């Protein structure tokens, strides 16, 4: 014969309000795992996440500070560059002014030197002219005396007398030249 299970009626009806034994065990196991996770696993994870967030915030703050420092350094560099350009322009202008003054001084020295050379040349020419005149007078006197002696037929070797004759002759020549020059200047 067939076997028929006899199950009491109370067991066959499932009441959803009455918890099942398995459910209670699962609930207790869940609570224990939840407690272990909440007590030992989640706090280190939260701590690591908080530390990482703080590190990221600090890196952003450092990056902002570095950016500010870079901007400040760039502005300072630009200011120093502008100052250097102004200084270079000032030095260039100063050098230009010094160059002009050196050129002016050199021109002045050259003019002074040229005037000195010119004066020295005039003095040398005057001295040579005087020496030439003196030499010409003595030679002219000697020639005139010997020529006069030949014309007259007598020797005019007396130095004092010949010097007086030559001086008078030259003086007459100079007065003739001066009067001729004054006539030419007046007619012009």
What is the rounded distance in angstroms from the CA atom of residue 141 to the CA atom of residue 163?
7
What is the rounded distance in angstroms from the CA atom of residue 163 to the CA atom of residue 145?
9
Tell me the pLDDT tens digit for each residue of 48-96. Answer: 999 999 999 999 999 999 999 999 999 999 999 999 999 999 999 999 9
- Report CA dihedral (94, 98, 99, 100) to the nearest 10 degrees: 100
Model confidence at 147: pLDDT above 90: no
Domain edges within the chain = 20-150
């Amino acid at each position: 014969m067939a076997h028929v299970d006899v199950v009491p009626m109370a067991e066959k009806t499932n009441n959803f309000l009455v918890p099942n034994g398995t459910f209670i065990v699962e609930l207790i196991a869940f609570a224990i795992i939840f407690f272990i996770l909440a007590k030992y696993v989640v706090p280190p994870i939260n701590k690591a996440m908080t530390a990482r967030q703080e590190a990221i915030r600090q890196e952003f703050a450092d990056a902002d500070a570095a950016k500010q420092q870079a901007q400040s350094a760039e502005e300072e560099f630009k200011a120093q560059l502008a100052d250097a350009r102004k200084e270079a322009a000032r030095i260039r202008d100063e050098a230009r002014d010094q160059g002009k003054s050196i050129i002016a001084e050199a021109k002045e020295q050259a003019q002074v030197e040229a005037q000195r050379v010119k004066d020295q040349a005039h003095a040398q020419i005057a001295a040579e002219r005087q020496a030439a005149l003196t030499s010409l007078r003595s030679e002219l006197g000697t020639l005139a005396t010997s020529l006069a002696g030949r014309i007259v037929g007598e020797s005019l070797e007396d130095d004092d007398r010949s010097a007086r004759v030559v001086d008078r002759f030259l003086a007459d020549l100079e007065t003739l030249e001066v009067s001729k020059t004054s006539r030419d200047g007046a007619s012009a």
